[in-house]
A and B are shown apart, each in its own frame.
Chain A
């Protein structure tokens, strides 16, 4: 709850005022039984119609006051709830953005999105309900007890006995059902998984004639969901009967003791009615509270999940003692020194004992099969992941010792998945460098062979839909290359970024990249793409199988030969 409360801090005033006005409202309601007692003991006893009329008007006045207080309380509660959830969302957004690649991998996109959307909404409802209604119940319960003492201290002892009993009953039912509701949620996730899988895999399931088996598995999951739901329901079902019995036992005790007091002449008939009124009010509140329990239970478990995200430590700016920031005027040297890397929880090493060095301005091809570790290798340069062993140097500095933003500012990355963001072509290109001029942007488009893409969309102000869905794969790919070039990076990394381009465009792009003054890493599965590189690093199963120029590798490197001839047959 730590983060929730700190998000609530700016709304401290509202969070206090809401229950306070609830208290006033409850106060208005709690006076009503006293008035009824007066009507009986004074008005009816003295046959004073005027008195009765004024008392009834007083009740209406209390009702008006109650309405005003209630609305005020609800306004403050709503304000605190939406304010808190807005804060929570904003913090989550910032926290998630600070996650390292390893964290992103382990948490998963869909989970992160659920936390930010439905979980926060549940918490908002929970906070609103808690401020408005959850606090109302104890206020009414204890208020009724206090009022009972005003009526008669001895009879009020009935309240002192029954309220703790009620508390024990309500809390033990709540405590027993809470974990069950969490289990229901887990079971529901399983059912959901079955449904989704069968929709997505309809063809394969039918091809293997697995419909029957899937149906059985779904049946099992569905039945165990039903079982837990019923179990949770059975326990929650105890809540109302138990409170009802306790309250009515209290009423019997009240009539008994009250009758005794009246007989002795220390209590009046109207007082008994008033005390009875208070017990009824308590009952009504507890029934409402029971109905709320599920809502608040859900909110609490969502809140716990959010806390877990907020508690996670984001990416660290520097790993070791920082020595200096990299500036844009560096040389673009890269050196790997006995680097090994394993993904968190992924078992074996993805990269093993990688050493090489690259001079400024060189073009380096990285070639290898599926899962050979090509992307992993280039991801270590801007420290998207940190080497498990060994050191990666950029311009002679350990990348772990350089603040990440200054490191990444001199690296231009074109990721495998070509994604653009909603906005315009300009707004997307400016991701590379917010200060770039239109001339810079046009130049980048020209180099990336994307000038025609921009022209087709109506220039720099051409619209880009969410994730760039209004562009073809090849168009997106060229724009993502332009985006990286806008940065005028010292190091440019193209992670298999030309796969959707035809051979001619790919060739033109490679020629254009020769113009720029940067160290270029070209990850590819195509031997043709790296044919003219200054240096090709051939990876096989996370190890370096060979480094050199095309001719050297063709002569000396078995893996390179295999890759090459799988694409260029010896006879072609």
Chain B
């Protein structure tokens, strides 16, 4: 993405905080102006303290009042400015995260399927964080930094332009030094991050599979490999960290040279102009020295801020790429389906994930209400794809799918999907209580309904064995086995009782004995409902009204179990391969 585009988008977000933005700029100016006045006043003060018996106390006290007022203003405006900056940065962070999160709900699934979750999550969490940190730093240091440099320049030129020139000509030195070092440390940092990645890989592997390591008492050998990488990492980190820390003392050194130069030229000027009308006093020199340090400091800060800001821009660009990603077509204004009867028609449907690789072509079939349709076939034949289309997770490329005679693209997704109950092979459990997980599709269900559903799916007994029963907090990575999670997903659907069911390998993780018991409940649930069943285990689909045998995205055979066996075709082949021990 273009950089200017990113900046424009950042400004659009910032625009919502116009008031605070204006306030922070005004406050920065006030802070800088009052901060810079203080050394001048102190310089005057020094001039009122000349020597024994030559101290002008009345003017000194007046000066104290002035300094006091300035300091009070600085402190107050600095504090207000921090509050404004916090407000802007954190609000923007929240808004960007909200927008990005909303996006997760409306992006086409093709986008989510194509990326690792961690990648997208890290954009919303880490990139957003780094961006707001950069922004906050930018606001606090960039405005004040630039204002300080300009303000100091003006004052120095007014005080004594010759001295100001000394300072101005010397500053680029420190900037060059910093840039020179930065460009030479890059290679070391790359080496460090490569070695670190290597070590993380090993840690992932070993710690992720620690039980195997322990089973084979292989700890010692792992330690040797780990220590070798660890030592390499230590060596290259040392280099990277040391060299990356050198700009700071280097610029400090250059600043001290500038300081000495100002002292030299300043002192000579004091001597040369003593007693003249345009006298450069000792107090002026003191102010000048103070200003010269104040002038060089922001340069270091700004170069840091710019580096940080580069990174922040890169983060923002990734975040905006997500926020501006094209959404699934809106279904606003579409009709509501209501409670469907369950007649589903596929009419000449074509679909593929990638245009160059055709998957489903010219697929047609009809399921009348209450029909049980089984879809079988080898891995990758398009079974799960068909479900993606029925649920409208993906839209068809050609042809149409209709429910109760209505094209599913003409009704709202929400009303279509609430008519389906879906149990997938890959279970998903929310980090919440068992109760919340069960009542996900029907939040207003009663305790009795919920327990009945759990009992029907044979989940009740293990739920009761959890530490807090139905109120136990569970999660995707918790104590539950795959099979138990799948039972919960089944209970979830049993509670909703939608008119149409999709069971994609719904019992794949459950042992056969429990499966048989759950099947009973399924049978009752399926009564009068249109069902799509995908299964590897052919025994679960023998009673289907229609079996669609898929191969390479096409339906190669269709019919009932007995008919298909008699045909001795592909289905028969699959069936006997599984049941001949």
Contacts and interface: CB of A to CB of B under 8 A. Distances in A.
A79 interface: yes
B55 A259 contact: yes
Q: Taking each of A202, A245, A346, which has the highest tally of chain B beta carbons within 10 Å of its own beta carbon?
A: A202
A525 B511 contact: yes
A482 to B, nearest CB: 13
B109 interface: yes
A384 B208 CA distance: 16
Contacts of B203: 93, 113, 116-117
B253 A67 contact: yes
A370 B509 contact: yes
Interface string A376-418: 0000001010000000000000000000110011010101010
A124 to B, nearest CB: 8
Contacts of B205: 421-422, 466-467
A525 B511 CA distance: 6
A284 B481 CA distance: 58
Contact of A67 (B83, B223, B252): B252
Contacts of B105: 198, 205-206, 211, 214-215
Contacts of A215: 101-102, 105
B83 A237 contact: yes
B104 A199 contact: yes
A99 B52 contact: no
Contact of A191 (B125, B218, B428): B125
Q: What is the size category of the interface that chain A forms with chain B?
A: 35 or more
Interface string B493-520: 0000000000000000111111110000
Contact of A56 (B74, B261, B484, B514): B261
Contact of B67 (A251, A343, A404, A503): A251
Nearest to A210: B440
Interface in B48-82: 48-55, 57, 60, 63-64, 67-68, 71-72, 74-76, 78-79, 82
Interface string B515-548: 1100000000000000000000001000000000
Contact of A90 (B38, B90, B120, B226): B226
Interface in A321-358: 343, 345-348
A319 B176 CA distance: 65
Nearest to B297: A284
Contact of B245 (A53, A132, A270): A132
Given A132-B245, A192-B121, A197 B430 contact: yes
Given A32-B259, A53-B264, A204-B424, A244 B511 contact: no
A251 B219 contact: no
A198 B104 contact: yes
Interface string A90-114: 1001101111010010001110110
B511 A369 contact: yes
Interface string B195-234: 0000111111111111111111111011100110011011
B318 to A, nearest CB: 14
B477 A206 contact: no
A186 to B, nearest CB: 14
A405 B207 CA distance: 19
A253 to B, nearest CB: 9
B209 A421 contact: yes
Contacts of B38: 248
A59 interface: yes
A201 interface: yes
Contacts of A71: 246, 249
Contacts of A205: 105
A466 B78 contact: no
B484 A371 contact: yes
Contacts of B206: 93, 97, 421
Contacts of B248: 70
B510 A370 contact: yes
Interface in B14-33: none
Given A32-B256, A197-B430, A245-B75, A222 B424 contact: no
B190 interface: no
Interface string A267-282: 0111011001100100
B256 A97 contact: no
Interface in B291-342: 293, 297
A42 to B, nearest CB: 10
B417 interface: yes
Interface residues of B, number: 146
Contacts of A280: 290, 293
B249 A259 contact: no
Q: Taking each of B83, B97, B207, which has the highest tally of chain A beta carbons within 10 Å of its own beta carbon?
A: B207
A60 B51 contact: no
A405 B220 CA distance: 12
A452 to B, nearest CB: 20
Nearest to B486: A370
B512 A207 contact: no
Nearest to A542: B465
A240 interface: yes
Nearest to A263: B55
A223 interface: yes
Taking chain B's interface residues, is the majority helix, strand, or loop, or is none over half, making it mixed?
A: helix
Contacts of A211: 105-106
A203 B104 CA distance: 11
Interface in A197-236: 197-211, 214-215, 218-219, 222-223, 225-226, 229-230, 233-234, 236
B246 A52 contact: no
A126 interface: no
Given A56-B264, A225-B94, A370-B484, A44 B271 contact: yes
A116 B42 contact: no
A142 interface: no
Contact of A66 (B253, B440, B513): B253
A241 interface: yes
A545 B86 CA distance: 65
Contacts of B82: 233, 236-237, 240
Given A238-B79, A421-B209, A192 B125 contact: yes
Interface stretch (A145-153, A547-555, A564-572): A564-572
A226 B477 contact: no
B245 A56 contact: no
A475 interface: no
Contact of B215 (A255, A268, A408): A408
B87 interface: yes
Interface in A19-50: 25, 29, 32, 35-36, 39-40, 43-44, 47, 49
A178 to B, nearest CB: 17
A97 B249 CA distance: 42
Contact of A208 (B109, B264, B441): B441
B471 interface: no
Q: Taking each of B125, B245, B483, which has the highest tally of chain A beta carbons within 10 Å of its own beta carbon?
A: B245
B112 A226 contact: no
Interface stretch (A80-88, A436-444, A512-520): A80-88
A63 interface: yes
A97 B417 CA distance: 47
Nearest to B63: A255
Given A97-B214, A209-B418, A222-B98, 7 more contacts: A78-B241, A90-B230, A203-B428, A255-B60, A369-B513, A370-B511, A503-B581
15 contacts: A39-B267, A94-B219, A108-B477, A109-B210, A200-B476, A203-B393, A204-B489, A206-B417, A238-B79, A248-B71, A255-B49, A269-B282, A346-B479, A432-B216, A434-B221
Interface of B: 38, 42, 45-46, 48-55, 57, 60, 63-64, 67-68, 71-72, 74-76, 78-79, 82-83, 86-87, 90-91, 93-94, 97-98, 101-102, 104-106, 109, 112, 117, 120-121, 124-125, 129, 199-219, 221-223, 226-227, 230-231, 233-234, 237-238, 241-242, 245-246, 248-250, 252-253, 256-257, 259-261, 263-264, 267-268, 270-271, 274, 282, 285-286, 289-290, 293, 297, 391, 393, 413-414, 417-418, 420, 422, 424, 428, 430-431, 440-441, 461-462, 465-467, 476-477, 479, 481, 483-484, 489, 509-516, 539, 579-581
